[in-house]
Amino acid sequence: MKVITFLVMEKQVKKIAVLTSGGDSPGMNAAIRSTVRTCAYHNVECVGIYRGYEGMIDGDFIGLDPRSVNNIINKGGTFLKSARSEEFRTKEGRKKAYGQLQKEQIDALVLIGGDGTFTGGMIFNEEFNFPIIGIPGTIDNDIVGTNYTLGYDTALNTAVEAIDKIRDTASSHRRLFFVEVMGRDVGHIALNAGVGSGAEEILVPEEDLGLDRLLESLEKSRHTGKSSSIVVVAEGDKTGKNVFELRDYVEENLEGYDVRVSVLGHMQRGGSPSCFDRVLASRMGVKAVESLLEGIADNKKDSMSARKPPLEPVLNIAVSDTITKKAVIAL
């Protein structure tokens, strides 16, 4: 488990704000809940910011307490809403956001989001020396410093379940299916969903094996008597062709294949979070608040400005592998 801190605290924290930004992911609500309840346990005021950085610029704040986060641990999405803010990309926009935080007397900020959210937080911290902690929330699993981001496990299970159902109809009609999954520029979902669902081929951005090899593999499968096949394709695949162009290419170069395409799309970002994501979100929320209160900082801009090395082992720096007794009470 890893939460990323930008700044050592120089004053006592009495009021913490939490926001979600960028693409939503299952587990964000659980992380908000944990943050709010941990604040309440430590007698720290907690404020929610609607619509991410856009809401921070507009001063769209709401006071949160344990009762306001009842019954959200099992819900997908984020009840604080999320948005991508063009204005926050400008220095004037960030200055306006800082003014709103000062007006509300907010001492520290918990960000829940992905690469873009953390990049914005890092710049904001550098400009205004404002204490920030980031909780990695993205289905892409592409944030350096943590093995698993919030929502990745749920999205992976959603993809596997969908591919299992596609295999049923593929085998009934002796068809080849290209199934596109999300992941931005990394292939974590594609690789693990492909292995978990028994796909014949997996195409990921990290390694372009070439279209000739794909044709050879499919031809070999057909000669061995395989009547249907599944090829999992990451949305950032570097073969130079999108999933529909891959279908056309195979139909043009291999006779006898009835090819279909299924793009899973945003269904991977929705749905109730898995138990793994709920627990991970709860642990990260506790650690985020306690780190702010204790004035702990680590992995500053060097780690936050870099995205996770795709499909390579990432050092798991366990900040705390066990939840303290007081944290359990807070949850």
CATH number at residue 11: 3.40.50.450
Torsion of CA 68, 293, 296, 321, to 10 degrees: -60
Whole-angstrom distance, CA of residue 125 vs CA of residue 275: 33
| Three-class SS state of 88 | helix
Is there a single domain that holds both residue 80 and residue 33? yes
Is there a single domain that holds both residue 192 and residue 283? no
CA separation (Å) from 47 to 87, 108, 255? 22, 10, 61
Q: How far apart are the first and last CA of the chain?
A: 17
**Tally of domains in the chain:** 2
| Residues 26, 76 contacting (CB under 8 angstroms) | yes
Question: The tokens of 206 are what?
Answer: 């990290």
pLDDT at 2: 59
Question: The tokens of 222 are what?
Answer: 């057909």
pLDDT at 6: 54
Contacts of 214 (CB under 8 A, 6+ apart): 201, 203, 231, 239, 246, 250
pLDDT at 5: 53
Provide the sign of the torsion angle of the four alpha carbons 123, 124, 128, 134, taken in this order.
negative
Indicate the residue among 253, 269, 285 that finishes a domain.
269
Is there a single domain that holds both residue 181 and residue 70? no
Question: The tokens of 51 are what?
Answer: 């619509």
Structural domain boundaries enclosing 246: 153-269
Residue 244's DSSP bridge partners are none
Backbone angles phi, psi at 49, to 5 degrees: -115, 115
pLDDT at 174: 81
pLDDT by 10-residue block (mean), the chain, 331 residues: 55 92 95 98 97 96 96 96 92 97 96 94 95 95 91 97 94 90 93 95 88 87 78 86 88 85 94 97 96 72 46 33 34 41
Whole-angstrom distance, CA of residue 172 vs CA of residue 72: 40
What count of other Cβ atoms lies within 10 Å of the Cβ of residue 154?
Answer: 25
Strands lying side by side in the sheet with 4-5:
4-5, 132-136, 108-113, 15-20, 45-49, 61-64
Is there a single domain that holds both residue 132 and residue 8? yes
| Strands (E) located in 196-318 | 201-203, 229-234, 259-263
Whole-angstrom distance, CA of residue 134 vs CA of residue 151: 15
Is there a single domain that holds both residue 48 and residue 138? yes
Instruction: Write the CATH number for 162.
Output: 3.40.50.460
Is there a single domain that holds both residue 189 and residue 40? no
* HSE of 135, CA atoms in CB hemisphere, 13 A: 36
What count of other Cβ atoms lies within 10 Å of the Cβ of residue 129?
Answer: 10
pTM, two decimal places: 0.85
DSSP symbol at 137: B
pLDDT at 1: 59
Among 215, 190, 133, 199, residue whose Cα is nearest residue 166 = 199
From the candidates 115, 140, 142, 237, which is the catalytic residue? 140
What count of other Cβ atoms lies within 10 Å of the Cβ of residue 210?
Answer: 11
Chain-centroid distance, C-alpha 212 = 33
Indicate the residue among 269, 294, 322 that finishes a domain.
269
Any catalytic annotation for residue 140? yes
